[in-house]
Amino acid sequence: MEGGIVIFTREDVPRLARTIAVFFGVLVLATGAPVIGQSLLKKMGREDAAAEKALSLANDGIRQAKREQENLNSYRASYGRLVKMGFIGSFRRIDLIEHLEKTESSLFDMQYSISPRQQFPVSDFFALSVDRVVFQLSLLHEGRLLDFIDSLEAGSNGIPLVAGCNVERIREAAGMGYEPHLKAGCTVIWATLEGLK
């Protein structure tokens, strides 16, 4: 060092190389740290926004599930009544035929024909099934027809709907004779709501 001026020689360079390398390393870190930090902050901000959106969607899903649960609870009693009535479930034709065989003895004559089942989709899960039966009956009096129609509800699943009846007198009642006086033709439809497979 001469007059406040530092003079480096070739021999000094190896000793200073390490210090110079540390200096430049610190300089790079000092200038790069804010850029890296800013990049990390942006990335954390994006991740935070994505997490908030996912949380919001999850909360919306929970609220929707609670609303659906409340709806199910409110309709459960109505659904139970429909199941008990036989409206929800499968119409079993064999049950109806067995019931008609038991009922036939209380009538003079009964004939019936069952049309092919028709199905109408009403949702993604259910279809309305319709079974149509046409009855031809010989009866003592009109009360027997009403009793017969009432008995159909107990004979099978479904709700029997009388689409129409024609009643014709075939002879006048004479005294206490036990013979048919009426001929009736009735169309009855059973409607059931069945699950789609």
Total-model pTM: 0.56
Which tokens hold the place of 140? Answer: 């003592």
Domain containing 67 equals 1-85
91 contact partners, CB below 8 Å, separation of at least 6: 117, 129, 131, 156, 157, 158, 190, 192, 194
Asked if residue 126 and residue 77 are part of one domain, the reply reads no
Asked if residue 106 and residue 31 are part of one domain, the reply reads no
pLDDT of residue 176: 54
Number of DSSP helices (H) and strands (E) in the chain, helices first: 3, 5
Which tokens hold the place of 174? Answer: 């004479």
Say how far apart CA 106 and CA 125 lie, in whole Å: 41
The 3-state DSSP class for residue 132 equals: strand
Q: Decide if 95 contacts 190 (C-beta within 8 A).
A: no
Asked if residue 185 and residue 99 are part of one domain, the reply reads yes
Number of domains in the chain: 2
Asked if residue 149 and residue 97 are part of one domain, the reply reads yes
pLDDT of residue 175: 56
Instruction: Report which of 85, 81, 144, 93 is spatially closest to residue 117, judged by C-alpha positions.
Output: 93
Asked if residue 54 and residue 27 are part of one domain, the reply reads yes
By CB neighbour count within 10 A (0-12 exposed, 13-18 middle, 19+ buried), where does 159 fall? middle
Low-confidence ranges of the chain (pLDDT < 70): 1-4, 6, 8, 10, 12-13, 15-16, 29, 32, 105-106, 155, 172-178, 197
Domain boundary among 37, 69, 85: 85
The domain that holds 97 is classified in CATH as 3.30.70
pLDDT of residue 174: 57
Asked if residue 135 and residue 55 are part of one domain, the reply reads no
pLDDT of residue 77: 78
> From residue 164, how far is each of 19, 31, 114, 143, 189 by CA, in Å?
109, 94, 15, 16, 10
Which amino acid belongs to residue 120? F
Which tokens hold the place of 147? Answer: 């009793």
pLDDT of residue 3: 56
Q: 188 φ, ψ to 5°?
A: -120, 135
